[in-house]
Each structure stands twice: as structure tokens, then as C-alpha cells.
């Protein structure tokens, strides 16, 4: 393994291959990339590779699948977060109900499982402030 301290490389050395590669990697726009690519056939091939890959239908399909996987992962993560929040709120409802003396029968406990986070938050508020189970959730 080699480490290169970028600040010690003279990027203006035209005859230094390492300096040319560093200029290529640090290019800020297409014009700089094009200028550097014209100076070295290896760098030119490296600069053309992403363009060729992006035109390949198989690579495009892989990129589309990867993007869909990332979207699905975000959706699953959001669902897990919401489910975790709902689970915590269900526990809070049960705790508050016990504290204020509201009976939790089987039907009420089953009903808790069907409620979303907003309804559970409202239920906690009703239990805390009115000390009763609401007629409608």
C-alpha cells in the first residue's frame, strides 16, 4: 500500500504521470478533463470508460435496479421507524391507562394494534387529560 501526500505533488509537471493522474482526478469541469485526457492515452481511456459504461443497456438496468433497491430500503427503514414509534406509543397508552385507572380489556388492547401513531398520540392525550377511554378513536 502506498500513501501519497497530495500537497507535495507538483500538479503542473507535464512529464510526471502521477501529476497527470492527480490533475485528472481533481478536474473541476469537462474542459479540464478533456485537456488532461488529450495529454495521455491512458487517461483518455480512463475518461472514456464511464461514458461507454453509461451507454450499455445492461449497466443502465443495473443502475435502475440499484436505485430501486435504495428506494425500497428507505421505505422499509421508514416503515420500521414508524412501527417502532407505534410500539412505543402502545406501551405508553398501557402505562398511562394503568396510572389513571382506566381498564384495558382485550378489545381495547386489540384496538391499540390497529391504531397509527397519530391516533395513539391522541389517545395518550385523552387518557392523561380526561382520565378516560374515548368513545371513538
pLDDT value at position 14? 65
Q: Please state the pTM of the whole predicted model.
A: 0.54
Work out the average pLDDT over 61-68.
95
DSSP 8-class letter at 26: T
Q: Which CA distances in Å does 119 have to 13, 97, 123, 134, 137?
A: 67, 15, 6, 11, 7
Work out the average pLDDT over 59-67.
94
Work out the average pLDDT over 43-64.
90
pLDDT value at position 5? 79
| Residues 5-26: tens digit of each pLDDT | 777 777 777 678 888 888 888 8
pLDDT value at position 6? 72
The position carrying cell 481511456 is 45
DSSP 8-class letter at 77: H
Would you tell me how many other CB atoms lie within 10 Å of the CB of residue 19?
Answer: 15
For 24, residues 6+ apart whose C-beta sits below 8 A from its C-beta are 33, 36, 37, 43, 46, 47
Q: How far apart are the first and last CA of the chain?
A: 64
The whole-angstrom separation of Cα 102 and Cα 132 is 6
HSE-CB for 74 with a 13 A CA cutoff: 5
Question: How does residue 68 score in pLDDT terms, banded at 50, 70 and 90?
Answer: very high
Question: How does residue 112 score in pLDDT terms, banded at 50, 70 and 90?
Answer: very high
Q: Give residue limits of the domains in the chain.
A: 1-55, 72-137
The whole-angstrom separation of Cα 137 and Cα 113 is 12
Amino acid at each position: 500500500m502506498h500513501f501519497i501526500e497530495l500537497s507535495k505533488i507538483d500538479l503542473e509537471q507535464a512529464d510526471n504521470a502521477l501529476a497527470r493522474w492527480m490533475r485528472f482526478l481533481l478536474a473541476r469541469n469537462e474542459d479540464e478533463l478533456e485537456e488532461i485526457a488529450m495529454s495521455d492515452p491512458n487517461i483518455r481511456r480512463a475518461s472514456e470508460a464511464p461514458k461507454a459504461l453509461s451507454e450499455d443497456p445492461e449497466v443502465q438496468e443495473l443502475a435502475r435496479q440499484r436505485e430501486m433497491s435504495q428506494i425500497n430500503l428507505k421505505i422499509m427503514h421508514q416503515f420500521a421507524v414508524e412501527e417502532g414509534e407505534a410500539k412505543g406509543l402502545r406501551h405508553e397508552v398501557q402505562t398511562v391507562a394503568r396510572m389513571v385507572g382506566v381498564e384495558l380489556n382485550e378489545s381495547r388492547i386489540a384496538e391499540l394494534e390497529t391504531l397509527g401513531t397519530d391516533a395513539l398520540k391522541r389517545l395518550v392525550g385523552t387518557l392523561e387529560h380526561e382520565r378516560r377511554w374515548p368513545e371513538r378513536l
